[in-house]
A and B are shown apart, each in its own frame.
Chain A
């Protein structure tokens, strides 16, 4: 059950990673910072401004989407237009990650922020002890992934996105506005990560550095499953959740994060296309 909860959270991050990678073909490492950002914006609205659960969520998610849009329109696109390689964009995204994390640190301080929402009475479901919130996390994630799957495969913007993913040049020849599609990938990806940020904030409290580690976990999940396919990335994240949980039985608990790091390293070396991904060029 624990694997499922933590896997859902990783998957919320991984889905956006994969969506953005699929469309843009570069690693948006700063994606993890969207999670932190959204969590803190929710905290600001809910605990400081007393806006209530629904409005606080909308506030945080709109800003998370806007941050994703800002990353693309404000930073990546101008740098891309100057002919930057994927490697440059990757380093830029690491810089953005550090930037957002430290801005949050500056404004909110290093101390842990607690979000206290509703009752936390545990339920016993088939022998597993879970809180209602944990059920919400799993439920929301599954619904989101179904919606996302529908958008990518059944709607016009999803079809455009797959076209841009296959070939940016060809898709612009047939009249697809690739800039709109790429913006869409950043906004939707960040929106989903934003939901992850709110749920994690409720489940585990907020710290300014949480986004980096969650970003790496989500990224690892996406690499395990296969970066270029959203369902594969989601599956990979659940696998990571399971492996982490079982790994802790054999290893000291301090190594929990190391498991993800080692899996990330091994997959990049041995199977960069992931478990469910199609074979691709290693050159990247």
Chain B
């Protein structure tokens, strides 16, 4: 019972780690103030769930979730590539609202009813039904994601993203194509948000638009900021802290009508507190511009 509960928490930590590490690539490493990351998460969840439910194998649905979310990321940066700072933040936030209202209104997403009965993943004939096996799946994908991002940010491409964040004009003077860098950064970032969405959908087995709105958005942004901008390890620590600590509230046996708001209040206070006293976060290397 308790073991199962911990496995559940660890699965969520795993999924949110992938989500926040991917946001950190755009937000921390590249300096693109993207508040629309939750939209990619949602797109990934819906794409994977809908495809899988019409008979597409899990692996393909899973990858499609990443690819479609990545395409959304490319679209978003294509239209907003000229914006900076708080204007970019608002435009991306507006984008997340648009995706939310599409999920809420399109026929095939079933609006506010959401999509129930999403099947558990089946990989090469093995159905991942128990929580423990799901944890292993999340861990495998999480570790691969972590290794990938670690490689990316340490590569010359990663250094270039940092230069783009610190001084875009200078990088352009040096003859680098900064727009192309933004495309790569957002595309990769959104791809991984999409696969995190897929993992989320097949684990929870029920999704509706409200899972991809403001409260989730604030959660992801809080994780990245508390862990620190431009730090992959920071985002992992952030995911642990932000998912685990509100679980303490559970031991007080509060009704869910109190538990929900309490958790949101906790996220909001942590977010404001970190931005107040230590805007760099725990392991962060740069400030939010």
Interface residues of A (CB under 8 A from B): 26-27, 75, 78-79, 82, 84-88, 90-92, 94-96, 98-99, 101-103, 105-106, 109-110, 212, 216, 252, 254-255, 257-258, 261-262, 264-265, 268-269, 272, 282-284
Contacts and interface: CB of A to CB of B under 8 A. Distances in A.
Given A106-B258, A106-B265, 14 more contacts: A79-B276, A82-B276, A84-B275, A87-B288, A90-B86, A91-B275, A95-B272, A99-B268, A110-B257, A258-B98, A258-B101, A261-B101, A268-B91, A284-B84
B83 A27 contact: no
Contact of B275 (A27, A88, A98, A282): A88
Interface of B: 33, 35, 79-80, 82-87, 89-91, 94-95, 97-98, 101-102, 104-105, 111, 214-215, 218, 221, 225, 257-258, 260-262, 264-265, 267-269, 271-272, 275-276, 279, 287-289
A194 to B, nearest CB: 21
A78 B271 CA distance: 15
B87 A282 contact: yes
Nearest to A269: B79
A212 B97 CA distance: 11
B90 A90 contact: yes
Nearest to B272: A95
A254 B91 contact: no
22 contacts: A79-B275, A85-B287, A87-B85, A87-B288, A88-B275, A91-B89, A92-B271, A94-B221, A95-B268, A98-B215, A98-B218, A102-B268, A110-B257, A254-B104, A254-B105, A258-B101, A261-B101, A264-B90, A268-B90, A269-B83, A272-B87, A282-B84
Given A79-B275, A254-B104, A261-B98, A91 B91 contact: no
Contacts of A103: 261, 265
Contacts of B83: 268-269, 272, 282, 284
Given A103-B265, A254-B104, A282-B82, A92 B272 contact: yes
B252 to A, nearest CB: 14
B289 A268 contact: no
A101 B215 CA distance: 11
A128 B81 CA distance: 46
Interface centre among B79, B87, B225, B276, by most A CB within 10 Å? B87
Contact of B265 (A99, A110, A283): A99
A265 B33 contact: no
B94 A261 contact: yes
Contact of B279 (A75, A88, A255): A88
Nearest to B84: A283
Contacts of B287: 85
A171 B163 CA distance: 36
Of A98, A103, A257, the most chain B CB neighbours within 10 A belong to: A98
Contacts of B91: 265, 268-269
A78 B79 CA distance: 35
A109 B79 contact: no
B225 A91 contact: yes
A41 to B, nearest CB: 18
A268 B87 contact: yes
Contacts of B267: 95, 98
A105 B256 CA distance: 12
A26 B287 CA distance: 17
A161 to B, nearest CB: 21
A95 B271 contact: yes
B272 A284 contact: no
A85 B98 contact: no
A226 to B, nearest CB: 14
